Chains A and B, each alone.
Chain A
Amino acid sequence: MNMLRPPLIFAASLAAAVIFAGCNRPASAPGAGGDAIKIGEFASLTGSEATFGQSSHKGTQLAIDELNARGGLLGKKIQLLTEDNQSQAGQSATVVRKLISSDGVVAILGEVASSRSLEAAPICQENKIPMISPSSTNPKVTATGDYIFRVCFIDPFQGTVMANFARQTLKLQNIAVLTDVKSDYSLGLAKFFKAGFVAGGGRLAVEQNYSGGDKDFNAQLTSIKAANPDGIFVPGYYTEVGLIVLQAKQLGLNVPIFGGDGWESSSLVPIGGAALEGDYFSTHFSPEDASPAVQNFVRQYRQKFNEAPDAMAALGYDSAMMLADAINKTGSTDAAKVRAALAAEKGFPGVTGNITMDADRNASKPAVILTITNGAFKYVETVSP
């Protein structure tokens, strides 16, 4: 029994310390007290999806810095509290509870992946804290409750846009679909694309899958080549798309390849190179857009981070800007009022288009289709919902 004493004492003191820390609830009214407005953000800053989380976070940070440089909100500075969920399941719930219960934030911004947004959304809903997801496209995210919003479009819209584009503009008949089975985003987009394409009179030549993180797609592409399609839809992320396109061209698959907003990144073209020429993807904005909002964003972002912003950065930026707009309109940080103002957003001039909240709190806004010419993204057309 003697031997047990040191660990038991240690455990008891640990437990006591934790309970003591645990009872330390924030005394002031959430966020409004003190000299700053606290906004919480959760993102995958490390781990397997860090590249998406970091982009989104940079966009958000840029928006907050810009707002603070203009004098903040309601005469107060904004404090952005960012917590990392290491791209791991289960962590988002923990950090969002921390942001709400321990830090007392007025609103939550995040995440890129729908699975992690879905972990956080019920918590925000239960605590009646508005949450804006920058780029989770699964329809279920905002269906959680009336405090959950998003600034991106959802899978059914984007899938249909690309299906119509493939069918009507590219005049494709017989296409292959290459889906990332590890990614809910890829699965959702593929599902609605296939439905739209078949409804439009097209045919699916073959369906192949990969897992996010793969580097070798020769096996899948060889099978696709054997099915002889006239186009390939790849609803994946740029982390894999560059290599997929490269390997397709090496195997002699000279058909147009196209995808969704997961393609947009400054690291796509360096990896895919010339193989990407003439391919298409749908996204939220065109860097060529002459509107002052877009031009200002692209310039500021380049200045601060020394790279071109991608779709996730633009959406992160818009999520923060739209929240600030709602708080400004409300004139307070009262959660219910901010929620109402967010739900009433109409034609908010974001970088990613004019955002109007629909009845399901999804952003209704046009999609842009871009093509890759001479290693640069070029505007093709705009599709309104």
Chain B
Amino acid sequence: MNELLQQLINGLALGSILALIALGYTMVYGILRFINFAHGDIFMLGAFAGFYLAPRIATVLPLPSVAGALAVLVISMAVCATLGVLIERLAYRPLRKRPKLTVLITAIGVSLFLEYTGQFVFGAAPKKFPEILPGFAVMHLGHLSFNSNQIVVISVTLLLLLALRFIVLKTRIGMAMRAVSFNPEAAALMGVNPDVIISFTFALGSALAAAAGILWAINYPSIDPLMGILPGLKAFVAAVLGGIGNLPGAALGGIIIGVTETLVSGYLSSTYRDAIAFAILILILLVKPSGLLGKKEVEKV
């Protein structure tokens, strides 16, 4: 029983990071209907931004400290938001009127570009992510051990999810986002500038990916230029599982993938982990073809 609870905590921590990445996939999909393959690499750049920023921030704010960690988090999010907007401008916007698969290829190109450039500039060897949060503590509760990082990861994810929910549901720009997602032409007629909204969506999604990158690096302090591939793929799966285009669905999908993977490696077989995770996904999709929370799209004849 204790072991099971421990595994659930492990899975929740892993799943909440995947959820943050999955939100970026799903937001872009909701508005542009295409899979941003480079999203996992933005996550990697978020971690590297933190890696290079930390020593500079340490000259102003004490590190490790909560204030310092927040500064690293926020500035990395800003850096990646800018990058996300830039990538959309240069590589995706010129193809907006083209079939979505065309954009997919430039997205793959951007992804390869970020990975190979990362290996060239940062080096391929894994780097130690600096300690930006104070005093790593392991708390014991009976036989369970929580580490403070897991708690930080879960609570920061929760906060970011609430903030996102507020932005999308309660602000004017959030309303515009929903309008563009629902019907871009009609939204444009109502005076919404789709370009601004799309840029904002990319900024938001990339900022969340950067936050996930920092949280990941706090929890698993070994970062390398290819670190985004696997979490990116799993978050993509999570987004589809939850119903792509659906924000709560992406968060739910992330948690499900994280917990499933942990339980499968803990109890069934870590050798077949990826296969079993995908098999479960396929089964769920066979029962619910548009994901757990996705709406069935109306066929237009």
Contact = CB atoms under 8 A, between A and B. Distances in A.
B119 A267 contact: no
A226 B222 CA distance: 26
B148 to A, nearest CB: 10
Interface in B105-163: 116, 119, 123-128, 138, 140, 145, 147
Interface stretch (B26-34, B166-174, B267-275): B267-275
Interface stretch (A66-74, A209-217, A332-340): A209-217
B220 A209 contact: no
Contact of B224 (A51, A225, A226, A252): A51
Contacts of A90: none
Contacts of A88: none
A220 B6 CA distance: 11
A313 to B, nearest CB: 11
A242 B6 contact: no
A226 B3 contact: yes
Given A250-B147, A267-B128, A209 B227 contact: no
B271 A46 contact: no
Interface string B262-301: 1111110111011000000000000000000000000000
B244 to A, nearest CB: 24
A215 B258 CA distance: 13
B17 to A, nearest CB: 9
A252 B264 CA distance: 22
A222 interface: yes
Interface centre among A209, A214, A218, A220, by most B CB within 10 Å? Answer: A218
Given A208-B270, A250-B145, A252-B138, A222 B6 contact: yes
Interface in B207-231: 216, 220-222, 224, 226-227, 229-230
B246 interface: no
Interface in B10-52: 10-11, 13-14
A271 B223 CA distance: 9
Interface string A32-64: 000000000000001110110111000000000
Instruction: Specify the main secondary structure of chain A where it touches its partner.
Output: helix
B230 A243 contact: no
Contact of A48 (B138, B145, B226, B262): B226
B145 A209 contact: no
Nearest to A178: B270
Given A250-B145, A271-B222, A211 B273 contact: yes
Interface string A239-251: 1001100100011
Nearest to B266: A219
A214 B124 CA distance: 16
A283 interface: no
Interface of A: 46-48, 50-51, 53-55, 181, 208-211, 213-216, 218-220, 222-223, 225-226, 238-239, 242-243, 246, 250-252, 265, 267, 270-271
25 contacts: A46-B124, A51-B126, A54-B123, A181-B270, A211-B273, A213-B229, A213-B230, A215-B227, A216-B14, A218-B13, A218-B14, A218-B262, A219-B265, A219-B266, A220-B265, A220-B266, A225-B3, A239-B126, A243-B222, A246-B221, A250-B138, A251-B145, A267-B127, A270-B128, A271-B222
In order of increasing CB-CB distance, the 4 nearest A-B pairs are A50-B124, A270-B128, A218-B10, A219-B265
